Amino acid sequence: MNSKQKIWANFSVKDAKRTHQFYSDLGFTANGQFKGTTLASFLFGEDGFVIHFFEQGSQIDEFLKPGANDNNEIIFTISAETEQEVNEFANKVEKAGGNIIKQVERDESNYYGFAFTDPDGHKFNVLLMDNMKTD
């Protein structure tokens, strides 16, 4: 296998249209035209990392469902440049219908950020790692 192959993530969601609206409201760029389908797809970060959100009942969804005892959820981290950016994004998440599961704060490593779930419970955190900057 070519080590330069593109990689992307796939998640199962209840409603692809709702998911499309949620990530649009957060300001992410849609990946292609998937309106009216069972797929919402978005580009994340400077490199355009793709996350596909397949509606439950679609053909690929069968592969995305974890077993009853599985704990294979991935938590994606979105980097931030300033505390203000973290705070503004937390407000966007709440307004778009996300659930803040860890409030904005400095953690034990002195990183500033918060964690949230999208409407289907997929976990993300937003993190400012300003204590790692070297000038």
Q: Residues 48-69: pLDDT tens digits?
A: 999 989 888 876 655 565 554 4
Contact 30, 24 (CB under 8 A): yes
Looking at the chain, the whole-number percentage of residues with pLDDT higher than 90 is 48
User: CA 66 to CA 107: how far, in whole Å?
Assistant: 30
Cβ burial, residue 74 (10 Å; 0-12/13-18/19+)? exposed
- Give the mean model confidence (pLDDT) for residues 27-36: 78
| 6-63 has CATH 3.30.720.120 classification | yes
Q: Report the mean per-residue pLDDT for the chain.
A: 83
What is the CATH class of 74-135?
alpha beta
**CATH 3.30.720.120 residue ranges for the chain:** 6-63
Please determine, for residue 74, whether its predicted confidence score (pLDDT) is greater than 90: no
- Give the mean model confidence (pLDDT) for residues 14-40: 87
**pLDDT at position 11, please?**
87
**pLDDT at position 83, please?**
96
Half-sphere exposure of 99 (CA within 13 A, CB side): 8
* pLDDT tier for residue 110 given thresholds of 50, 70 and 90: confident
Its pTM stands at 0.75
